């Protein structure tokens, strides 16, 4: 099971995101739990990004909101990078 590693900068972004969108807190929490249990779960819609963000992956919180991620596969670690609306995190 992969480990989620939260950086200080991500925690600040997440706190700001949840302050602006308190109605998404349960979906956000559910997404992170599912990500730590099964990153390949179809509802996450995990995919690798392209272009300038090609070192990152993305998962969906819902249709409009995403979490961008950096996978460190050797150590089985997932590091969330950013959270927000589709156009904000890409």
Distance of CA 42 to the CA centre of its chain: 14
Q: Distance of CA 67 to CAs 9, 81, 90, Å?
A: 14, 7, 10
- Pick the most confident of 16-20, 70-74, 86-90: 16-20
- Tell me the domains of the chain and their CATH numbers: 3-89 (3.30.2310.20)
SS in 3 state form for the chain? CCEECCCHHHHHHHHHHHHHCHHHHHHHHHHHHHHHHCCCCHHHCCEECCHHHCCCEEEECCCCEEEEEEEECCCCEEEEEEEEEHHHHC
Residue-wise pLDDT for 41-81, tens only, equals 999 999 999 998 898 999 999 999 999 998 776 678 899 99
Residue 16 predicted with pLDDT over 90: yes
């Amino acid at each position: 099971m992969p480990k989620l590693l939260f950086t200080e900068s991500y925690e600040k972004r997440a706190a700001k995101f949840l302050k602006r969108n308190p109605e998404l807190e349960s979906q956000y929490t559910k997404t992170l739990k599912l990500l730590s249990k099964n990153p390949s779960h179809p509802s996450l819609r995990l995919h690798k990004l392209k272009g300038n963000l090609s070192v990152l992956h993305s998962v969906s919180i819902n249709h409009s909101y995403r979490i961008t991620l950096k996978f460190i596969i050797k150590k089985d670690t997932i590091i969330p990078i950013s959270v927000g609306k589709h156009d904000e995190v890409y």
